[in-house]
Amino acid sequence: MKKLNGLMIDCSRLIERHSYYFRLLDYMADWGMNVLLLHFSDDYGCAVELPGFEKLALPRAFSAAQTRKLIEHATTKGIEVIPELETFGHTRFITDRREYRDLFVGPAQEKLTFNAIDPLAPRTHELMQGLIGAAARLFPSKHLHLGCDEVNMKDYCQQRGLDEAAVWADYVNKMIGYARAEKKTPLIWAD
């Protein structure tokens, strides 16, 4: 296994001019880096238009074609772009939308706090399977980062008499299964 040497860039909070990311890849190559973890989704938004889910993207988000160009540029520099799609916590880019508000789990407030998408709703699983598939097809990396950090569903589980750790493990294992079904090696944060 090759030694990974790279950095993570969070473009979900602030999308720089697209040219910035191309220059960043040039610098990374000069510094001998070989991996860019592209944290493109978070509570604040989604910086990549995933095919079939374009409505979740921020204004000025990378289109699928622009994302492919960025990946192509990275490849010429010997850099693997690993996408990070938030699939459990940090999912207000989804649940703040009217059509998905019923899937929000966490403190109901304007301020961004730890939250989750409803791990028991069949609609969540359909949505995540689709998003994971779209990300897997857009990004050629053998890896797909699923996030899964900073999840808050304590009250949700207590109100239902559920074991929070068991619900978390079951949901995360299903996300891992969806990534593996797309022939990706899943990564998650180790909170």
Predicted local confidence at residue 112, as pLDDT: 65
pLDDT tens-digit series, residues 96-124: 999 999 999 976 666 666 789 999 999 99
Would you say residue 145 has pLDDT above 90? yes
Reported pTM: 0.95
Place of tokens 């709703």: 121
Whether the CB-CB separation of 29 and 79 falls below 8 Å is answered with yes
Give me the sign of the Cα torsion angle 107, 96, 101, 137: negative
Mean pLDDT of 18-43: 97
**Sign of the alpha-carbon torsion through 112, 115, 117, 121:** negative
pLDDT value for 2: 75
CB 43 within 8 A of CB 92: yes
* Model confidence band, residue 25 (pLDDT cutoffs 50, 70, 90): very high
Nearest to 139 by CA among 32, 35, 15: 35
Our measurement of the distance from residue 11's CA atom to the centroid of its chain's CA atoms, rounded to an integer in Å, reads 11
pLDDT at position 152 = 87
Provide the mean pLDDT of the chain.
94
